Structure 1
């Protein structure tokens, strides 16, 4: 007699079943990122900045450890997002509760730290003096990547506080809460752009490419033959610092853990970090440390698709 398998049993037999999304684990996320930043600082041309970034991420870890549990997700929000194929909690519309107090605590935590540049003190003081409404306005500008030269130094500090709140909220979700959002190039949780993509190892996610959200640290699957910016499957290639040229997407076998994934259709690039080459890679930390690759890409036709939350760079003037 044949037995009818239940859905859960079918999935255990399906070798191609893997997580559609990987939600953050705030208890370890920032701690591991700080350790990676310190490791990458050794011999790096921007070692001092990486060590400062590590201290900033240390402060994020302390804020995440002290933060209260988020409020449960209202059922109507998940239903509406699923029905309309939209991100669950668009970042600019759903700033985390109490993130302003978290920012002030983070700034106080950095005071007097030798790894923090002295020039950052007046920036921190100015931020701490803003009221909640002004901070919310600035946060929305930072999230929209719409800041002027005067706010460049403040942006990573604001983003650091926001990341804590967004990661805690995203980490409290279940995979079933997260909709299939369109376009697939933005985070289905908060609607933000990815900082980089990561080729994962281990468990069901092993061998699959995920985009890593720059804001809430959620990850969502995207096949490796697609551009992570325009979703084209034509002209996607990988290029690294030591490459003599480019390699066809999916066919390269370079030992480099960080590559630039370029697209001939939209003329952008975004980095791919590969756990198969280094199991300790972190999308945010490794993207930041591989700034030499960005400098080399500056001499090509490809523009960076999105920025790194730990570094704000002035946009070139439109010609």
Structure 2
């Protein structure tokens, strides 16, 4: 006679076979991401932008070192476990420490050799901006209510938020993270994944994880399943010459979206956010298809300017502002 496994038994088996959750390794995450960006910049059509983002990531790494340990609300963890909902939705749990992170990052970037001169006024404006205005910008970005005036500062603000949310996630225990629905959003901060990644090494080897663009937590999702609508129908993969099979676009005919898959089996150094950013040519290819990108890269903002007609999408490079 077959026996139905209870949820606790399923979780125990899950942890034996492979990790359901991969919490961020804050000691190395930003340093490795910056190194990967510099590697990917070589010969890339958007090399200048990739190198600019590498400087932002360097500043993230530095700011993290001076950030005090976060306070984790035990009541929020218990509530999330009880109701199978994300632990701390980013838009509702802004830690004031992100202002300190942003100031530290801007101070470093403002003195960085080789940073485009056109960025200095923007950096100065952000440094002088009242915290209340910064909070309003952050809230809009986290809720994807992006105004045209926010786009230039978006990568800086999102980078600062990412440091704080990533540090918070890193101090969790895997057992703190609930099973949530839908599985297409981060179970820690309720943000969307920037890409999915096929991991190598250890118990995660060969498994696909969705990589959160806000807190860098990864959670398992089976292959050949849409990471946006969770359909198993109409899934196909498209690539572009020159990227090999390291980065492909997973398309879904059910919801009409695509999200990139970064394959460490093809390149062990592949990193979800960095490789997503550096494969802009694939996004340009996909713009000629009916499929729409499921979510943005937090350091390369695609915004809908207020003055543009609906559907007129603009890619804005803050370095050109």
TM-score higher than 0.5: yes
| Greater Cα offset, 143-152 or 60-69 | 143-152
| Residue of structure 1 in register with 2:34 after alignment | 34
Q: 1:232 Cα deviation (Å)?
A: 0.4
| Residue of structure 2 in register with 1:306 after alignment | 295
* C-alpha distance in structure 2 between counterparts of 1:99 and 1:14, whole Å: 35
* C-alpha distance in structure 2 between counterparts of 1:186 and 1:13, whole Å: 23
Residues 24-63 of structure 1, C-alpha deviation per residue, up to 9 Å, x if partnerless?
0111100000000000000000000000100110000001
* C-alpha distance in structure 1 between counterparts of 2:101 and 2:14, whole Å: 43
Residues 7-26 of structure 1, C-alpha deviation per residue, up to 9 Å, x if partnerless?
xxx99998971111000011
1:180-219 matches, cutoff 5 A: 180-219=179-218
| Residue of structure 2 in register with 1:53 after alignment | 53
Q: Secondary structure at the residue paired with 2:303? A: coil
| Residue of structure 2 in register with 1:239 after alignment | 238
| 1:98 partnered with 2:90 | no
Q: 1:114 Cα deviation (Å)?
A: 3.1
| Residue of structure 1 in register with 2:150 after alignment | 151
Match of 1:272 among 261, 285, 289: 261
| Residue of structure 2 in register with 1:317 after alignment | 309
Q: 1:223 to 1:275 in 2, by over 3 A?
A: same
Cα RMSD after superposing both structures: 2.1
Residues 71-99 of structure 1, C-alpha deviation per residue, up to 9 Å, x if partnerless?
1x232211111111110000011012311
Q: 1:179 to 1:317 in 2, by over 3 A?
A: farther
Q: 1:68 to 1:224 in 2, by over 3 A?
A: same
* C-alpha distance in structure 2 between counterparts of 1:31 and 1:220, whole Å: 22
Q: 1:118 Cα deviation (Å)?
A: 1.6
| Residue of structure 1 in register with 2:70 after alignment | 70
Q: Secondary structure at the residue paired with 2:250? A: strand
* C-alpha distance in structure 2 between counterparts of 1:116 and 1:156, whole Å: 15
4+ runs deviating over 6 angstroms: 10-16
Q: Secondary structure at the residue paired with 1:300? A: coil
The two structures have a TM-score, normalised by structure 2, of: 0.89
Q: 1:318 Cα deviation (Å)?
A: 1.9
Residues 142-198 of structure 1, C-alpha deviation per residue, up to 9 Å, x if partnerless?
112212222111000000100110000000000000011111100000000000000
Counterpart contact for 1:256–1:277, Cα < 8 Å: yes
| Greater Cα offset, 234-243 or 48-57 | 234-243
* C-alpha distance in structure 1 between counterparts of 2:284 and 2:126, whole Å: 31
Gaps of 5+ in 1: 1-9, 244-253
Match of 1:258 among 247, 258, 261: 247
Q: 1:53 to 1:206 in 2, by over 3 A?
A: same
